[in-house]
Structure 1
Amino acid sequence: MTAEAESWSGVFLRRPAGEPRGVPGDAERNVKASLDRLLDTGAPAFGPVTVEDLMWWTGWTLTDTRTTLAATGARAVELDEGTGPHTKALFDRNGNIGPTIWWNGRVIGTWAQHADGHINHHLLTDPGSQARPAVETEIHRTLAFLDGTRVTPCHRTPSERSLAT
């Protein structure tokens, strides 16, 4: 996706047709169920997510966000764990992390798609004998999924720029 192809649409939350209104406890159950779904589906696809991200997405206060997260059993991860001197290269100027390779809850590398479509990657550390073939498998799976489509992040990181050339 290029910046020219980027589009945004609003998200509207609605009560399903026929769902009763004003039943005590519904709001709390719906919030819990919605957050569970967000953490189960959204965070793996777009995460990790920060407390600040969740506050921005939901409009909650810091206290409400922390209380709700504690109730779900979500656990914190350190984004810079294992990245050491590479941290600045992995984030764009707005603080968004770029394409990264994760293994057992840690960032172990970065990747980018080259102009000809292939994927370059760079491991920041030796992740071990199980991770290396898993990374290669995921690269091949991603290439098959893209099926020739070229993807360029709108907000590029120094590492992504370097690997894409």
Structure 2
Amino acid sequence: MGDGRRYVGAGERRVRLGLRQRLAGSARSAGPEEVADALVALHGSDPATVFLAVGARLADATRTVSETERALYTDRTLVRMHGMRHTVFVFPTELTAVVHASTGLTVAARERATLLKDMAAAGAPDAAWLKEVEESALAALARRGQATASELAEDEPRLRERFVYAAGKSYEGTHTVSTRLLKVLGVEGKVVRGRPLGSWTSSQFRWAVAPAHPELDVAEAQASLLGRWLAACGPATEADLKWWTGWRVTEVRRALAAIGARAVTLDEGTGFVTAEDEDPVPDSGEPWAALLPGLDPTAMGWRERDWYLAPGIRPALFDYSGNIGPTVWWNGRVVGGWAQRADGEVVWRLLDTEGVGREAEEKIRAEAARLQGWVGDTRVTPRFRTPLEKELVAGA
């Protein structure tokens, strides 16, 4: 290219994706900690996504549930907490301080201010009262180890008090103090979600006191997080980085400068890689297929997705809020979607058949059988349902 920058085409980006996202067969991981470390973060808005995303990347998927539960609830090497874009993720525990400082502090201040404003508008008690309830609830949680909101309210009854939110508006509702306060405490990094009440697909979580972590400088934490993500997902555009982090563009640019990121040329324009990642990544020729869950961190990893997801098939794979559903991948591209029917059968449909021949279909079929094998008797319904997923479940 005339500007001296290296051009990184869609083909090389797909090779990088297969290797660094642990999807190519030779790149699969030994355990959930390796998966989370490689991806930086696992989407946790839908609890099942965490397990399905891990299982798709393990060399031995039969250990998915037991090993992921061990990491989350026994060893605590993985933590479910709020992160980028005010979304729940699962992070390696050693990354919690970085996430908290780089993305959580700003959101936390806004959330607490909003809660206090809503309570004041409803004539509820003031900030001093809320602080007293908060300290009492945290002490009760520390004594119990893990607890639901209802269990904490047995120790601190004021958590049950209700106030009207957005009175007179179309979205008016009634919230308990516990519902809003625990959310704020989660964003502030004081509590995290613990073991669910049900199976690994359950969204009814207990709460636990967050692991202690040092308070980091915000700019340094942002540079650290962006560097880790760029190593896993680069090259990426400035728009990708801003979207994934939820930061202001000035913060993204400051972090890029801090890590000495290198500019490259993409089909979308200027992209960035880490200083250690400028060399081309050769294609080994290893073909791979994957069935990834809704909200998978790879499918949701970039704002600009044309290089791995054809625009024409998007309407079938996304819900109305922009959440991606279960996807079928072939050699770094989304080529279709999948679903699990009531009888447990994993079914799939191709939407983009370019370059998808007999070998691809055989490998996709093998991945569907692999998934169905380790999921067993569990039935998984995505939290955010998409047109294709609904059609496949209905047998259409």
Against the structure 1 CA distance between its residues 139 and 13, is the aligned structure 2 distance closer, same or farther, given a 3 Å change threshold?
farther
RMSD: 3.9
Deviation at 1:130, TM superposition (A): 2.5
Say which SS state the counterpart of residue 272 (structure 2) adopts: helix
Q: Relative CO higher for 1 or 2, CA cutoff 8 Å, sep ≥ 6? A: 1
Per-residue CA deviation, residues 86-122 of structure 1 (Å, 9 max, x unaligned), is 3211101110111011112211111000011101110
Alignment of 1:101-140 (within 5 A): 101-126=328-353, 127-140=356-369
TM-score by length of 2: 0.31
Partner Cα distance (2:386, 2:212) in 1: 33
Say which SS state the counterpart of residue 111 (structure 1) adopts: strand
Against the structure 1 CA distance between its residues 123 and 28, is the aligned structure 2 distance closer, same or farther, given a 3 Å change threshold?
closer
Say which SS state the counterpart of residue 137 (structure 1) adopts: helix
Match of 1:44 in 2: none
Per-residue CA deviation, residues 45-70 of structure 1 (Å, 9 max, x unaligned), is xxxxx5454223xxx22344463682
Alignment of 1:147-158 (within 5 A): 147-158=376-387
Match of 2:202 in 1: 5
Per-residue CA deviation, residues 9-31 of structure 1 (Å, 9 max, x unaligned), is 79878349xxxx88xxx757743
Against the structure 1 CA distance between its residues 156 and 30, is the aligned structure 2 distance closer, same or farther, given a 3 Å change threshold?
same
Against the structure 1 CA distance between its residues 93 and 154, is the aligned structure 2 distance closer, same or farther, given a 3 Å change threshold?
same
Against the structure 1 CA distance between its residues 125 and 116, is the aligned structure 2 distance closer, same or farther, given a 3 Å change threshold?
same
Say which SS state the counterpart of residue 117 (structure 1) adopts: coil
% same residue: 31
Match of 2:244 in 1: 54
Residue of structure 2 aligned with 1:31, choices 225, 229, 234: 225
Partner Cα distance (1:88, 1:163) in 2: 15
Paired residues of 1:79 and 1:107 also in contact (CA < 8 A):
no
Against the structure 1 CA distance between its residues 28 and 160, is the aligned structure 2 distance closer, same or farther, given a 3 Å change threshold?
closer
Larger radius of gyration: 2
Paired residues of 1:110 and 1:159 also in contact (CA < 8 A):
yes
Matching residue's letter, 2:333: R
| Unaligned stretches of 5+ residues in structure 2 | 1-47, 49-198, 234-239, 262-270, 278-300
Greater strand proportion: 2
Paired residues of 1:55 and 1:62 also in contact (CA < 8 A):
no
TM-score by length of 1: 0.66
Partner Cα distance (1:65, 1:71) in 2: 13
Against the structure 1 CA distance between its residues 83 and 89, is the aligned structure 2 distance closer, same or farther, given a 3 Å change threshold?
same
Against the structure 1 CA distance between its residues 141 and 53, is the aligned structure 2 distance closer, same or farther, given a 3 Å change threshold?
farther
Against the structure 1 CA distance between its residues 143 and 14, is the aligned structure 2 distance closer, same or farther, given a 3 Å change threshold?
same
Paired residues of 2:308 and 2:332 also in contact (CA < 8 A):
no
Against the structure 1 CA distance between its residues 83 and 120, is the aligned structure 2 distance closer, same or farther, given a 3 Å change threshold?
farther
Match of 1:145 in 2: 374
Against the structure 1 CA distance between its residues 106 and 80, is the aligned structure 2 distance closer, same or farther, given a 3 Å change threshold?
closer
Matching residue's letter, 1:150: R
Residue of structure 2 aligned with 1:14, choices 213, 218, 222: 213
